[in-house]
Structure 1
């Protein structure tokens, strides 16, 4: 079941994202660390009603943020659509014990349905340049890579920006 996230979910989400970070680091992907993702970001997501949870057997096993807010880091990117009517995907995570079973696709399908139902022009996101699995995941779903941005607190490596025109 996918539902809106709330403040009571944040500790479980942090446990989930720490488990994901541990697996990524073990695989040489230094995308998430002690600075990101953090409780403050998830609290803000809840306040803006943009946090969604994947719940399986009453346990939080995945999360996604569907936002209408364009971060300043995205300004230099030459997007395929105007910066007026877009959604942005952040903090997509599936517990490592369930990765590779279609749950990330389920959350992305949910985001796409949300965007279509609400007449958005496109879905935008970024993914870490060192995370080839994520890049393939988005590219197989029709997302176009457009340029790079940097988050110095996360990594010295760039993050690739993607857009799917609806």
Structure 2
């Protein structure tokens, strides 16, 4: 039986996380997306995530198989949206930088990871979740909508010089 769980990321996970991020960058590039094709997310970003307690890792049979940053509070890029948020309360968790190792591709781990993230934050009292992705990232769009996230509009990011627009999704529990 495969043991799968989510825990806080540690600095000792950094090298494996960066390998997973690079694999995700390559996957996005191969799929024609401009998302993550610059320096973002870089090692400093991930180190900051871990130091601030935002980083979570998905563990599969003792190995780091996925990474995400989950930040509770105001996300500056979400303040201006072409569309509208259903819940405008200040308490929401934004799911950023989610990536699964290519070694574990095909195991539907992104579904499990997102479910775990929601459960962890729900236990902390969070009832509102947000995520965004490129129009070309059909995988994240599918994962979001299959977890009952609703598309709420378009937000804009700075790190993608080719396409700054992102589809924004929200889940209210």
Which TM-score applies when normalising by structure 1?
A: 0.91
Hey, what's the Cα distance between the residues in 2 that align with 1:103 and 1:155? 30
2:37 is equivalent to residue 33 of structure 1: yes
Deviation at 1:104, TM superposition (A): 0.7
Hey, what's the Cα distance between the residues in 1 that align with 2:20 and 2:167? 24
Distance change >3 Å, CA 121–CA 58, structure 1 → 2: closer
**Residue in 1 that maps onto 2:167:** 160
- The CA deviation string for residues 48-100 of structure 1, in whole angstroms up to 9 with x for no partner, is 11111112343321011121132211101321112322111011110123223
* Contact 1:81–1:121 (CA under 8 A) maintained in structure 2: no
2:27 is equivalent to residue 23 of structure 1: yes
**Residue in 2 that maps onto 1:113:** 119
**Residue in 2 that maps onto 1:148:** 154
Hey, what's the Cα distance between the residues in 2 that align with 1:30 and 1:118? 34
> Secondary structure of 1:84's partner?
coil
Hey, what's the Cα distance between the residues in 2 that align with 1:30 and 1:49? 28
Hey, what's the Cα distance between the residues in 2 that align with 1:99 and 1:111? 19
Deviation at 1:155, TM superposition (A): 4.1
**Residue in 1 that maps onto 2:106:** 100
Please, which runs of 5 or more residues in structure 2 have no aligned partner? none
Deviation at 1:16, TM superposition (A): 0.9
> Secondary structure of 1:17's partner?
helix
**Residue in 2 that maps onto 1:55:** 59
Runs of 4+ off more than 4 Å = none
Deviation at 1:37, TM superposition (A): 0.9
Hey, what's the Cα distance between the residues in 2 that align with 1:52 and 1:127? 19
CA RMSD in angstroms, aligned pairs only: 1.6
Which TM-score applies when normalising by structure 2?
A: 0.88
Please, which runs of 5 or more residues in structure 1 have no aligned partner? none
* Contact 1:35–1:154 (CA under 8 A) maintained in structure 2: no
Count of matched residue positions in the alignment of Structure 1 and Structure 2 = 166
